[in-house]
């Protein structure tokens, strides 16, 4: 089966012609050359900061005399170590996704995501889909992923450290949300992931970063299939 989607705008072609996508469409985790070169050094630095925080805590606990500057140094080390946990989690999750080789699969009748252990969800079960951007979509914000409001609950394993997830741009606030609800992204990073958020029972969020298929193609393919089966889509 083939479907037609809008072409991806480029600097030299702001109004591109439509493009055709063949189904089924498989998108696998992709690290890339630059990512492969940077991932181990980044992981090493983050782990070093975590272990450094542990050493500084041990120093503070065993030191006979402690100066105010020592306390400040320990607090800074602990802060750096805790926030580095999110970096370690993101790198480990990316490597695990690549090793498992569990793809996101889009076909004419359903969508499934091996990364989330999400069984095939028929398009007819998708009541609404919304595209999640980092930054303003009008100002050229990057696509982070796509969320689904389903007509029935499903099981999915939402790993909070996966790229496109831990910024919490996907979370749609509700009336009456407190400051904690609104600032979960900061709380997640500052607590090393202890404060984490999951979609509601009838929601699924699929991150689209670090995949082998361009996010524009994935988003517009999903949007076309949702509309074909009677669902609505928020997309710019």
**Domain membership of residue 73 as a residue range:** 32-100
Question: Residue 226's pLDDT is what?
Answer: 98
> Global pTM?
0.80
Residue 74 reports pLDDT greater than 70:
yes
Last residue of a domain, one of 47, 76, 100: 100
Q: Reading across the β-sheet that carries 110-113, which strands appear in turn?
A: 25-27, 104-106, 110-113, 118-122
The burial of 216, by beta-carbon neighbours within 10 Å (0-12 exposed, 13-18 middle, 19 or more buried), is given as middle
171 with 227, same domain: the answer is yes
Question: Residue 122's pLDDT is what?
Answer: 97
Last residue of a domain, one of 60, 77, 100: 100
Question: Residue 170's pLDDT is what?
Answer: 55
- Asked if the structure places residue 12 within a domain, the reply is no
CB 173 within 8 A of CB 128: no
70 with 115, same domain: the answer is no
Question: Residue 183's pLDDT is what?
Answer: 55
- Asked if the structure places residue 2 within a domain, the reply is no
124 with 62, same domain: the answer is no
- Asked if the structure places residue 15 within a domain, the reply is no
85 with 114, same domain: the answer is no
- The 10s digit of each residue's pLDDT in 162-214 is 887 765 555 555 545 444 455 556 666 666 666 566 667 788 989 999 999 99
Question: Residue 109's pLDDT is what?
Answer: 96
Where are the extended beta strands (E) located within 36-125?
Answer: 104-106, 110-113, 118-122
How confident is the prediction for the chain on average, in pLDDT? 83
110 with 211, same domain: the answer is yes
Q: What is the dihedral of CA 203, 208, 210, 214, to 10 degrees?
A: 160
Tell me 217's DSSP state.
Answer: H
- Please state, in angstroms and rounded to a whole number, the distance separating the CA atoms of residues 83 and 191: 7
64 with 150, same domain: the answer is no
- Asked if the structure places residue 9 within a domain, the reply is no
Q: Which of 34-38, 167-171, 208-212, 216-220 shows the lowest mean pLDDT across its residues?
A: 167-171
133 with 226, same domain: the answer is yes
Quote the number of domains for the chain.
2
- Asked if the structure places residue 14 within a domain, the reply is no
- The 10s digit of each residue's pLDDT in 116-152 is 999 999 999 999 999 888 766 655 568 889 999 999 9
3-state secondary structure of 7: coil
Name the residue among 185, 22, 200 with its Cα closest to residue 128: 200
Which two structure tokens, joined as six digits, stand for 79?
């802060």
53 with 137, same domain: the answer is no
Question: Residue 179's pLDDT is what?
Answer: 46
Question: Residue 118's pLDDT is what?
Answer: 92
Residue 230 reports pLDDT greater than 80:
yes
Last residue of a domain, one of 82, 100, 118: 100
Question: Residue 188's pLDDT is what?
Answer: 63
């Amino acid at each position: 089966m083939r479907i037609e989607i809008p072409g991806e705008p480029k600097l030299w072609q702001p109004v591109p012609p439509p493009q055709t996508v063949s189904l089924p469409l498989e998108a696998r985790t992709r690290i890339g050359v630059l990512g492969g070169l940077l991932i181990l050094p980044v992981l090493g630095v983050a782990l070093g900061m975590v272990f450094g925080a542990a050493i500084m805590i041990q120093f503070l606990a065993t030191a006979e005399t402690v100066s105010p500057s020592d306390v400040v140094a320990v607090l800074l080390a602990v802060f750096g170590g805790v926030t580095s946990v999110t970096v370690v989690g993101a790198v480990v999750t990316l490597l695990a996704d690549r090793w498992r080789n569990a793809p996101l699969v889009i076909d004419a009748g359903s969508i499934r995501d091996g990364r989330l252990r999400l069984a095939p969800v028929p398009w007819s079960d998708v009541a609404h889909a919304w595209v999640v951007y980092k930054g303003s979509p009008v100002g050229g914000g990057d696509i982070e992923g796509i969320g689904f409001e389903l007509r029935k609950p499903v099981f999915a394993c939402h790993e909070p450290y996966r790229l496109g997830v831990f910024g919490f741009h996907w979370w749609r606030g509700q009336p009456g949300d407190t400051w904690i609800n609104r600032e979960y992204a900061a709380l997640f990073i500052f607590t090393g992931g202890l404060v984490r958020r999951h979609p509601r029972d009838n929601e699924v969020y699929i991150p689209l970063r670090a995949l082998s298929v361009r996010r524009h193609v994935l988003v517009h393919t999903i949007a076309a299939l949702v509309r074909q089966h009677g669902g609505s889509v928020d997309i710019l």
